[in-house]
Amino acid sequence: MASGTFLGWRFLTPDAGMKSAIIAAVSVLIIACPCALGLATPTSILVGTGRAADLGVLFRRGDGLQLLADVKAIALDKTGTLTVGRPSITSLYQSHDHVSELASLQSRSTHPIAKAMEAMARDSGATLMEVQDFRAERGRGVMGSIDGVIWRIGSAAMMGEAGISVPDVTGLKAASLIYVAKGNDIVGVYAVHDEIHPKAPALINSLKQRGIEPVMITGDQNAAAQAVADQLGISTFHAQTLPADKANLVKALQQSHGVTAFLGDGVNDAPAMAQADVGIAIGTGSDIAIESSDVVLVGGDPAGVLVAQKLAKATMANIKQNLIWAFGYNVVLIPVAAGVMVPFGFGMLNPMLAGAAMAISSICVVSNALRLRRA
């Protein structure tokens, strides 16, 4: 571009002389320097992610900002995300003392319900026993051999797959039921209650107001999921899902809604986070979930997703503003630097003024990006 300007002045307007050709070429070279364009995007992302970190939101990938700004649906886990993740356990049926076996098996699991059941058993005087052939079935339960006997702790589905009949328990619409089996016999039934997270109602309402469809996906039983969905006003939910099911449901949301996020905290949520356009992890959740995520809510507050989405939209808007300014600057000043205003009585653009204009353009872009610190 600078070479073309030089040749144009040199050969199309020979009376102008070599000095004018050089001044015009140098001015165009300075003005056309893409400093502002180069700063437009990374500066906004840097400031936006820094502001998010101040507010307890960690963006682990830069494109998470762009995707979160365009999100149309968000799938949410239940336990530890929409609920406080501190389940209370009530014994409904117990044929004999099995607290030591219960504690021994559940001590090998990291699930919040397992930890709550382990604590209950320890409070009842349980002592840990050696467990052999321990196996955890994600979304189902755990099993292992103690003193040569197979013990299972988990859902009705887990028991059914093992050919174990479970007793009919009615009147517990808001509770999850956990069964304990010794061999092929049910020796205990427990009801699990988990309180709604205090920030969850406002979170769901705000998502709806922003035009984002909330969908709850949980491995919990249908009755407990229905109770939480009713309390929070979630019209679509899926219960008794395995980790692979969660990922498939997220894929279906992507096909029906477009950009989809997943918010969760557990090991079982990792496949769904990997499938989602934006995986959002509760910072107090499992390490596997955090490693699978694009965004981490450091403080453990699920409502932090609203902060993250607001900052993402603000950052993308800021980037567009910077790009418009940078392109506009070049579109206007490159012709001026080339001397198109000379025939109208204006002088040549001094290279020093061109350098100052280039610096001012970069300063404007950076200053605009810094406005995100007040977002």
User: What are the residue numbers of the active site?
Assistant: 77
What is the C-alpha to C-alpha distance for residues 127 and 236, in angstroms, rounded to an integer?
Answer: 43
Per the CB < 8 A criterion, the answer to whether 78 and 193 are in contact is no
Q: Token digits for 20? A: 């004018």
Q: Token digits for 157? A: 């589905």
15: helix, coil or strand? helix
In the sheet that 132-137 helps form, which strands lie side by side, from edge to edge? 88-94, 185-193, 176-182, 149-154, 141-146, 132-137
214: helix, coil or strand? strand
Which string of DSSP letters, residue by residue, matches 216-272?
A: EE-SS-HHHHHHHHHHHT-SEEE-S--HHHHHHHHHHHHHHHSSEEEEE-SGGGHHH
Mention every residue, 6+ apart, whose C-beta is less than 8 A from residue 348: 20, 23, 24, 27, 339, 342
Q: Token digits for 191? A: 């009801």
Whose CA is closest to 139, among 71, 62, 78, 219?
219
189: helix, coil or strand? strand
